[in-house]
Amino acid sequence: MKKVEIYTTPTCVYCKMAKEFFKENNIEYTEYNVAQDAEKRNELIAKSGQMGVPVILIGADMVIGFDESKIRTLLNL
């Protein structure tokens, strides 16, 4: 299984949808709350060039926003 990381904020509806999707599909992930973690926020900006969340890393691939079809493809679901 590919490593899954998600950059989120507590108030982000699409972040909640993405995390719920991962839970429903038994996908382990690491969450980074960029509202509280300045280092991860800077990392998010460096990697994606933006402040919007969610940003999801699946292996070496980046998904900006909750794009379920792209996530399914990258995870072979």
Domain ranges, residue 53: 4-65
CB 68 within 8 A of CB 27: no
Q: pLDDT tens across 18-69, in order?
A: 999 999 999 999 999 999 999 999 999 999 998 899 999 999 999 999 999 9
* pLDDT for the residue numbered 50: 87
| Rounded Cα distance, 47 and 41, in Å | 10
Is residue 77 a part of any domain in this protein?
no
Is residue 70 one of the residues assigned to a domain?
no
Asked if residue 13 belongs to a domain, the reply is yes
Q: Does residue 8 lie in a domain region?
A: yes
Q: How many domains does the chain have?
A: 1
What are the φ and ψ backbone dihedral angles of 33, each rounded to 5 degrees?
-85, 100
Q: What is the pLDDT of residue 1?
A: 78
CATH of the domain at 37: 3.40.30.10
Secondary structure percentages of the chain, helix, strand, coil, to 5: 40, 20, 40
Q: What is the pLDDT at residue 51? A: 87
**DSSP code of 28?**
-
